[in-house]
Homo-oligomer: A and B are copies of this chain.
Amino acid sequence: MEKHSIPKATLGRVPIYLRYLRDLPDESGATISATKIARGVLLGEVQVRKDLAFISGSGKPRVGYERSKLIYDLESCLGSDSLTNAVLVGAGKLGRALLDYDGFEEFGVRIVAGFDCNDEVLRVSKGKLVLPIEDIEMFCTDNDIKIGIITVGQGSAQEVCDKLVACGIKAIWNFAPCTLSVPSTVLLRQEKLALSLAHLNSQIKNN
C-alpha cells in the first residue's frame, strides 16, 4: 500500500495505536483483533478497521492482525523505524521550545541541532547543541539532514531559507510570518499560529 494515500487524520492516530500495541503484555498473544484494539484505544471499531486497512491491509477473519507485523507497518508509515534528521535555525524562545520538545521523534523526525547567528548562544538544550550558523552547511552534509525548521524573524527568514536550500535540504517548516520562495524540488510548509488564533477569534465574535 502506498504511504501517500494515508489521510492526515489517520496518520494522527498512528501513535495512539503504536503506544497501545507496544505496551501490551507479552502473554497477550501474537495476534490481536481490531475489536480489541478499538476497545483498548477508546476509538470506534469502524474507525479503527478503516485506519488499519489503510496502513496494514485487512486482518485475517476470526484472527485479526499479527501484532509484530502491525507494529512494523505502523512504524514504517510514520517513518519512526528510520528517523528523518532535521535542523532548526533561530534559537529564540519558540526555537528552543521546539528543540526541547521530545514528541517529534514519535512522529518520525529528530531535530538534531539548532543554529543561531548569535555566537554566544552556543550551548546545550536538553543535550542538543545550538551552533553558529556558519557551521550549518558542513553539519547538514555530515548528518544527512532532510528537514530545515525556520524560527527566525520575518526579516531574515528568506535568507535562512536560501541557506537551507543550498545545504541540500528536502523540506522547510517555516514559523516566520512571511511567504518564502523555494525551488519546486523543495517542500514548504508554512505554520500560521497567529492565523489560527484570529480564526478562533472571528468564530467567537460570530457566535
Which residues on B sit within 8 Å (CB–CB) of A40?
Answer: none
Q: Are B194 and A104 in contact (CB under 8 A)?
A: yes
Q: Taking the nearest CB of chain B, how far is it from the CB of A88, in angstroms?
A: 11
Give complex CA distance A193, B151 in Å: 13
Q: Select A107's contact among B106, B108, B194, beta carbons within 8 Å.
A: B194
Q: Is A63 close to B, CB under 8 A?
A: no
Q: Are A2 and B204 in contact (CB under 8 A)?
A: no
Q: Is A207 close to B, CB under 8 A?
A: yes
Which residues on B sit within 8 Å (CB–CB) of A103?
Answer: 177, 194
Which residues on B sit within 8 Å (CB–CB) of A77?
Answer: 202
Q: A6-B202, A84-B204, A101-B194 are in contact. List 18 more A-B contacts (CB 8 A).
A: A3-B202, A4-B206, A11-B195, A11-B199, A12-B192, A77-B202, A78-B198, A78-B202, A79-B198, A79-B201, A93-B97, A94-B94, A94-B98, A101-B193, A103-B194, A107-B197, A109-B201, A187-B204
User: Which residue numbers of A lie inside 8 Å of B, CB to CB?
Assistant: 2-4, 6, 8, 11-12, 77-79, 84, 86, 92-94, 96-98, 100-101, 103-104, 106-109, 146-147, 170-171, 173, 177, 187, 189, 191-207
Q: List 28 A-B contacts (CB under 8 A).
A: A2-B206, A4-B202, A4-B206, A12-B195, A12-B198, A79-B198, A79-B201, A79-B202, A84-B201, A84-B204, A84-B205, A86-B197, A92-B97, A93-B100, A94-B94, A96-B97, A97-B97, A103-B177, A107-B197, A108-B198, A108-B201, A146-B204, A147-B201, A171-B203, A173-B196, A173-B200, A189-B196, A189-B200
